[in-house]
Amino acid sequence: MEIVAFQFDLGRQKENIPFLKKTAEFVKNSGYNTVILYLENCVRTSETPFFKKEETYSLQEMKEIVDYMEGLGLDVVPVISPLGHTERFLAHKELAKFGEQCEGVGRWGKTDNPGCFCLENPEARAWMEKYIAEVVAVFPGKNLHLGFDETWNLGYCTRCRPLVEKEGLAALYMRHVNWAHDLAKKLGKRMWMWDDFFEYFDPKVLETVP
């Protein structure tokens, strides 16, 4: 089936549910068959009770949105970024410890928020697995988008820098991609991702993509 997709960016701006339902009807009537919900951290789960209600959706609210769109005959695909584009996660003091470069300097100098999880930190990876599993549970579709774009600060923290020097950035990146692929498979989903970072690696890296 050809995928004709419309994306809502809910990670940067929360939209009210009636608006999302009405727009989904327009999308369906306009010939689209897929809706992509770009989420970042806009869903509250048992792992994130500290997220602000006025900026995020509860799991019940997200389920209402997804069920309505699926009921229209649209395939709904969530986008949850576990590596880059995690600024809004890391802005919370409860999650800041999972940042990629907590002790150091990133690509554009010293920053208090690297916008990139350190998945070489087993605690960060375990936390993200639990968060993703909770959110994905309200999406019945077969596809799960796990981002992986613009991971600019990957490899800068004291945990990762020696690995980059030893193995190369591409190897570090692909270890995380394959971890995400295994997670999606465990959740019964087919993984999607953005492709921009492959522009920076040897084309042979593509041979290691599942």
State pLDDT tens for residues 135-164: 999 999 999 999 999 998 888 888 898 999
86/146 Cα distance (integer angstroms): 12
Q: What is the mean pLDDT of residues 113-117?
A: 83
pLDDT of residue 101: 62
pLDDT of residue 157: 85
pLDDT of residue 110: 64
- Percent share of the chain, pLDDT over 70: 94
Paired with 40 in beta bridges are none
pLDDT of residue 111: 66
159/116 Cα distance (integer angstroms): 13
| Average pLDDT, rounded, for the chain | 93
- CA angle (146 as vertex; 18, 19 as ends), nearest 5: 10
* Spatial CA neighbour of 80 closest among 136, 35, 127, 120: 136
Residue 36 has pLDDT above 60, yes or no: yes
Residue 104 has pLDDT above 60, yes or no: no
Q: What is the mean pLDDT of residues 76-99?
A: 93
Q: What is the mean pLDDT of residues 54-82?
A: 97
- CA angle (119 as vertex; 59, 35 as ends), nearest 5: 40
Residue 199 banded pLDDT, cuts 50, 70, 90: very high
Question: With the C-alpha atoms ordered 122, 93, 45, 69, is the resulting torsion angle positive or negative?
Answer: negative
pLDDT of residue 83: 94
Residue 4 has pLDDT above 90, yes or no: yes
pLDDT of residue 153: 85
pTM for the full predicted model: 0.93
pLDDT of residue 181: 97
